[in-house]
Chain A
Amino acid sequence: MAKKRDNDRNDRKLRGGKAVTRRDFVKTGAAAGVGAAVLSTSGTALTQVSPADAIKWNYEADVVVIGAGCTGLPAAIRARDLGASVIVVDQNFDPGGKMLHSGGQISLGGGDPLQLRDIAGNGDREGFVTAPPQHTVEELTEDADFLFRDHTDWSVMDAAAQAPYRYNERDLHRAYADNCYATREFLMANYVRMGRIAGTHGNGGMSRARRAVSFLMEGPTTDIKKGTVSKQDAGVAGVSSSHFAPRLMEDGTKVASAGARANGAALARPLEFSAREKGVRFILNRHMDEIIREQQFSGRVLGIRASYSPRFDPRTGARLESLWQNGNVDDRTETIFIRARKAVIVGAGGHGANPEFRSMFYPGWREPAFVSSGWALLGPRGQDASGIIAGMRIGANLAGMHQNLSYGSTFHIPGNLATRDPYTDMLPGHPTFSLRGSTGINLPNASFQHLIVVNQVGKRFFNEMLITTREGGAAFPARPAKGQPKSGLQHVPLDWRNASVENIRATYSEPSSIHAALAMNEGSQAPDFFSGPIWAIFDRAAVERDKWKIDPPFTSPTNGYFFKADTIEELAARIHAGHEFQRVPLKYLADTVAKWNSFVDKGNDPEFARGPDAPMHRIDTPPFYAATLYPVWHDSYGGLRINGRAQVIDMQGQPIPGLYAGGESSGGGNQHGLGRALVHGYIAGTNAAGERTS
């Protein structure tokens, strides 16, 4: 089969030499008429390709929001609440972004309403939250000043010896702390139910508990107003996901009550429901290609150019459609222009799926085989850095670009084999399942004793028992396993000892497997020296010993991420023939397996020190299996610089009039997950609605 050197999107956009230059545009545009649909992807040249004074606008609204995710939905609702008309565009066929497949964990704090609820020992208005509070009053008591200090503590080091809070933008985090209370209230007013506060999510602060997970109660039907989700929509373990929730909604008994089903669907769907109810219009299947300003580097932002980006079911050829339709504007024109009378808000996600962009931080990540989390859900244009690139094109500055290196799950190796989308475990039932083809064989760490892992030439490269090991972000409750000298409330903020050499020596636990996986090997070829795919190799005995589920939907016989053969030699040949990113033969695989079996016989592994932590098992019982074990770039940090009003800042330190951003499209805030983006969206929606109308 044809081997890919890059992903579909970037074949054309970043590598093919066919990117449209300004000269090309002028030439083509003159022939086609200015404003005509001459560009189907964003050009690479950092010039404004659509002259503002010649544009014929197809749509207008007070506020145009790019991205229907964790920043975009709250921004849209908030702006609408304040009287603005709002259009949301999203490149995908369904709103929700990565929030939809997330765990739904929302860390806010600063004395937010849920902290106060738990301090008082109260439940919720609807009577869903009956579980007892999980934290003491002291663990929940704080104010905005306390939260601000916690999020900008220079002294905190994590288990990878990185400083997650030191580089956070101060103005942004002051505003964040000041708006957490209002954001939590806002979520609750828009049908989002959240359980007890339980710890704090990655990089959400060291000193207090701030995290609550969103949930719905299992009921006979899915009814957002009543707070219920049907059993089918919530998903059946090991059997099915749903269009409503692409990942199985988990048991929320401990944080709410029996029957609670929790994850990001219980956040994304209520926000989407509320936005539609309030009259927000959605233009889906629509990729923002350009933010249009009066002049490229001056004047107000006027609107956007967006191209049609439908997705199709590979089995039926039918276009994928959103779960709910009310409020949708189904425009299939190739290119449209949308005018923003007040402001444009960029909530287009991060850059984790753009190999060229992410390789600015780490050249090994130019390997296109590896994708961002939610690859199937979001499609090839999700997380493509388009919001950041569009901002750069009109003069925006960037912030926090180095902070990708300050969170443990930014990139890592999940223990989910046999899928290109290993971060998530989608089951059949969601419309995009057919695009991934397999859920994956999700193995806990102990199960790695039954396999070996090899690189693209068939050589082992790391101790398999450590290959998926990673520490979460530095967050409450602090503890030595996360890099801090003291635990919980004993943590001392702003203490130089947190960053002392002695503490780092005592707590450092970076396993580095991801770096070994991305390293060059004998199959790496100029000019990019891609590391290539990674394969877990095992046998029938392993499957039977550890009771793995290797049949569909956990694997697919046709998607090229799982192979079976009678002999190791045949297995190597099948991988090479059948996997799109396997560019070279696995010429060492048979020797590697033979060598491994000899190590097992001897009872020790001189190459990678397997043995002391788990028993070793021969790989000798046919048939033999190979399954991908793919690194994933989960979330990204670093993006458009924004101030405390969520305004995008230019290279001179001034706000770009009419342009706001948040979440993973913005930088300077190294907090993992949903809380950061939700607050940014709330702030951006508030201030965008207050802009003068142009």
Chain B
Amino acid sequence: MDSGSVETRGQSTCVIHVSPDVVDAGAELTLQGQVSCAPTCDLRGHALLVKDEARADARSVELTQFDGETNRTDAFAVKAPVKAGAYTWLAVCPAVVKEGISYVEASTPISFTVKSHTTHLVAWDIPSAIVIGERFRIKVGIKCSSECHLANRDFEICDHEGIQVSKGTLPGDRWPGTTGLYVAEVELQAPASEGLYSWSVKGPGSDVGVPHAEGSNNFGVRIVSHPECLVTVETVDRISQTPLGGARVVMHPYKAVTDERGIAQMRVAKGEYRLFVSQTKYLTFGVPVEVTADMTARAELDLEPLVERN
């Protein structure tokens, strides 16, 4: 506090910018405080106090900037509470005497909401056609909005009627290429009848430690009858007649990839399909086919024409 005789009383006003105003439990909030005085006063070096909901002194932050009218702190981070709910903290600019003027204490509420961590679930590597009653495997990934370590986190798989058909626990492996998606592989049993079913993967909520909200995601399961026909597809470049390995062969919902000889085989049910063969840099080959018995098809692919450069 400056020394000198006190001649006048001044007012000060305090404002706090909060980002975000809805924050994950225990995550960081970014605050920046500003104090304006009447008459105008340079308060650099003075402190702004941030008090939590119990009005304990949570933090003392120095006012470091003054633009001739307003004093500001640098942006600073504070940890949000770990319990979900609406919070009101308090920013206090203590009384100060400066250049003979006595500024009374000013305060302003800091309002924000703490929420449970969001849980996002992903399911992939689901076979495009699953034979009735057979077992199949899928991958399940769970991601916390605050990238919590999710080892030992439970999840469950529910069928189209909401009945749990499997459950598992994340082993703690992070999926390559991601920053916090934890993955598990699950074996499941296909239903006993054909159809397209909507199943779901669910991550139950948890209030142990940092709270996590429940999450779920649906995925399609295509169940087919026992395919009785073997379709062989030979794929070549039309001009060179050389085999095209790695080409994707699709007869919805059946899929296969050609080997180095340009050949793919897949078992399909009798019926009418559209046979697609697609390969990088080639025009997609597509023809209608009717499968009544084992059959062989030949796909001659043309290179996609180069786009003319203008």
**Per-position binary interface string of chain B over residues 163-182, scored 1 when its CB falls under 8 Å from any chain A CB and 0 otherwise:** 00000000000010111110
Q: Which of A472, A546, A621 contacts B124 (CB 8 A)?
A: A621
Chain A residues with CB below 8 A from B222, complex form: 601
B283 contacts partner chain A, Cβ-Cβ < 8 Å: yes
For the complex formed, measure the closest distance between the CB of B258 and the CB atoms of chain A, giving whole angstroms. Answer: 13
For the complex formed, measure the closest distance between the CB of A543 and the CB atoms of chain B, giving whole angstroms. Answer: 10
Bound together, the chains give a CA A614 to CA B218 distance in angstroms of 25
For the complex formed, measure the closest distance between the CB of A478 and the CB atoms of chain B, giving whole angstroms. Answer: 16
Q: Can you list 28 A-B contacts (CB < 8 A)?
A: A103-B308, A103-B309, A103-B310, A201-B310, A263-B309, A415-B307, A446-B284, A541-B124, A545-B248, A564-B177, A566-B120, A594-B217, A594-B218, A597-B219, A598-B220, A601-B196, A601-B222, A613-B286, A614-B278, A615-B250, A615-B252, A615-B255, A618-B124, A618-B126, A620-B123, A620-B124, A623-B177, A623-B178
Q: Which of A263, A567, A603 contacts B252 (CB 8 A)?
A: A603
What interface size band does chain A fall in? 35 or more
Nearest A residue to B279 by beta-carbon distance?
Answer: A446
A482 contacts partner chain B, Cβ-Cβ < 8 Å: no
Is B175 within 8 A of A634, CB to CB?
A: no
**Per-position binary interface string of chain A over residues 573-614, scored 1 when its CB falls under 8 Å from any chain B CB and 0 otherwise:** 000000000000000000000100110111100000000111
Q: Which of B177, B196, B310 contacts A622 (CB 8 A)?
A: B177
Bound together, the chains give a CA A421 to CA B45 distance in angstroms of 48
For the complex formed, measure the closest distance between the CB of B268 and the CB atoms of chain A, giving whole angstroms. Answer: 13
A662 contacts partner chain B, Cβ-Cβ < 8 Å: no
Nearest A residue to B182 by beta-carbon distance?
Answer: A566
A636 contacts partner chain B, Cβ-Cβ < 8 Å: no
B243 contacts partner chain A, Cβ-Cβ < 8 Å: no
A570 contacts partner chain B, Cβ-Cβ < 8 Å: yes
Is A566 within 8 A of B310, CB to CB?
A: no
Is A570 within 8 A of B124, CB to CB?
A: no
Is B122 within 8 A of A567, CB to CB?
A: yes
A-B contacts besides A601-B253, A620-B219, 10 pairs, CB < 8 Å: A105-B309, A202-B310, A446-B281, A567-B120, A597-B219, A601-B196, A613-B286, A623-B177, A634-B310, A672-B310
Is B310 within 8 A of A569, CB to CB?
A: no
A447 contacts partner chain B, Cβ-Cβ < 8 Å: yes
Chain A residues with CB below 8 A from B282, complex form: 446
* Total A-B Cβ pairs within 8 A: 104
B274 contacts partner chain A, Cβ-Cβ < 8 Å: yes
Is A602 within 8 A of B196, CB to CB?
A: yes
B125 contacts partner chain A, Cβ-Cβ < 8 Å: yes
Chain A residues with CB below 8 A from B179, complex form: 566
What interface size band does chain B fall in? 35 or more
Bound together, the chains give a CA A545 to CA B179 distance in angstroms of 22
**Per-position binary interface string of chain B over residues 235-264, scored 1 when its CB falls under 8 Å from any chain A CB and 0 otherwise:** 000000000000010101101000000000
Is A621 within 8 A of B125, CB to CB?
A: yes
**Per-position binary interface string of chain B over residues 206-247, scored 1 when its CB falls under 8 Å from any chain A CB and 0 otherwise:** 000000000001111010000000000000000000000000
**Per-position binary interface string of chain B over residues 274-310, scored 1 when its CB falls under 8 Å from any chain A CB and 0 otherwise:** 1010101111101000000000000000001001111
Interface residues of A (CB under 8 A from B): 102-103, 105, 201-202, 247, 250, 263, 409, 415, 444-447, 449, 472, 540-541, 545-547, 564, 566-567, 569-570, 594, 597-598, 600-603, 612-616, 618, 620-623, 634-635, 672-673
B143 contacts partner chain A, Cβ-Cβ < 8 Å: yes
Nearest A residue to B222 by beta-carbon distance?
Answer: A601
B81 contacts partner chain A, Cβ-Cβ < 8 Å: no
Is B120 within 8 A of A614, CB to CB?
A: no
For the complex formed, measure the closest distance between the CB of A314 and the CB atoms of chain B, giving whole angstroms. Answer: 25
For the complex formed, measure the closest distance between the CB of B179 and the CB atoms of chain A, giving whole angstroms. Answer: 6
For the complex formed, measure the closest distance between the CB of B25 and the CB atoms of chain A, giving whole angstroms. Answer: 18
Q: Which of A250, A444, A623, A634 contacts B304 (CB 8 A)?
A: A444
Chain A residues with CB below 8 A from B191, complex form: none
For the complex formed, measure the closest distance between the CB of B142 and the CB atoms of chain A, giving whole angstroms. Answer: 10
Q: Which of A567, A600, A614, A618 contacts B286 (CB 8 A)?
A: A614
Nearest A residue to B310 by beta-carbon distance?
Answer: A103
B141 contacts partner chain A, Cβ-Cβ < 8 Å: yes
Chain A residues with CB below 8 A from B281, complex form: 444, 446
Bound together, the chains give a CA A613 to CA B286 distance in angstroms of 7
Chain A residues with CB below 8 A from B286, complex form: 612-614
Q: A567-B181, A612-B274 are in contact. Are A620 and B122 (CB under 8 A)?
A: yes
Is A546 within 8 A of B280, CB to CB?
A: yes
Chain A residues with CB below 8 A from B253, complex form: 601, 603
Bound together, the chains give a CA A673 to CA B278 distance in angstroms of 34
Q: A445-B304, A566-B143, A601-B222 are in contact. Are A622 and B124 (CB under 8 A)?
A: yes
Q: A612-B274, A614-B276, A622-B177 are in contact. Are A597 and B310 (CB under 8 A)?
A: no
Nearest 4 Cβ contacts at the A-B interface: A103-B309, A601-B220, A615-B250, A603-B252
Bound together, the chains give a CA A420 to CA B251 distance in angstroms of 37
For the complex formed, measure the closest distance between the CB of A398 and the CB atoms of chain B, giving whole angstroms. Answer: 24
Nearest A residue to B183 by beta-carbon distance?
Answer: A622
Chain B residues with CB below 8 A from A540, complex form: 177
Bound together, the chains give a CA A569 to CA B278 distance in angstroms of 30
For the complex formed, measure the closest distance between the CB of B28 and the CB atoms of chain A, giving whole angstroms. Answer: 16
Is A613 within 8 A of B284, CB to CB?
A: yes
